[in-house]
Amino acid sequence: MTDESRPPFPPFTAETATQKVRAAENGWNLQVPEKIAMAYSADSVWRNRAEFLQGRDEITAFLQRKWAHELEYRLIKELWAFHENRIAVRFAYEWHDKNGQWFRSYGNENWEFNAQGLMQKRMASINDLAISENERLFHWEFKTVRPDDYASLSELKL
């Protein structure tokens, strides 16, 4: 493995697709934009909501802006489907804004990987729901990975 590869590699199996999804979730929960960007190809193309990005520098800048606004972010991803070099994911994350208003954001992502296991396309559709603090469901320590025994989206009925 080099800096320009990220196993597991396509074509994916149920096991390797699940590993890829959990690795992405863990990376985003740790919130180190420069490290996260290395999981994407140098020319990776993104659509995140209505924002279009290309390349690691734009990905890094996007993540820095995101987490300056979405405070105490915690994410759970779940494999939806996979085929050859593509994975579909559903996810939810919780965060609050600078005014203390909590949100749960729900979404779907479609991922496409190159032969080196780097994501070359990421298309994300996301909706935000304002919630009260007592409606929160994601309670593990901030900027850590979700514990292995923590409930999944399906188990949380999300």
Residue among 111, 114, 87 nearest 5 (CA)? 114
The whole-number pLDDT of residue 141 equals 97
- The model's pTM is 0.96
Tokens of 66: 């995101």
Task: Chunk the chain into consecutive blocks of 10 residues (it has 158) and report each block's average pLDDT, rounded to whole numbers.
Answer: 84 98 98 98 97 98 98 98 98 98 98 98 98 98 97 98
Distances from the Cα of 42 to the Cα of 38, 124, 149, angstroms: 8, 19, 34
- Provide CB contacts within 8 A for 60, sequence distance 6+: 33, 34, 36, 37
**Contact partners, residue 144, CB within 8 Å, separation at least 6:** 29, 30
> Among 158, 61, 62, which Cα is nearest to 107's?
158
| Residue 133 burial (C-beta neighbours within 10 Å; 0-12, 13-18, 19+) | exposed
The pLDDT value given to residue 151? 98
CA angle at 40 for the pair 38 and 43, rounded to the nearest 5°: 110
The per-residue pLDDT for 107 is: 98
CATH hierarchy code of domain 14-135: 3.10.450.50
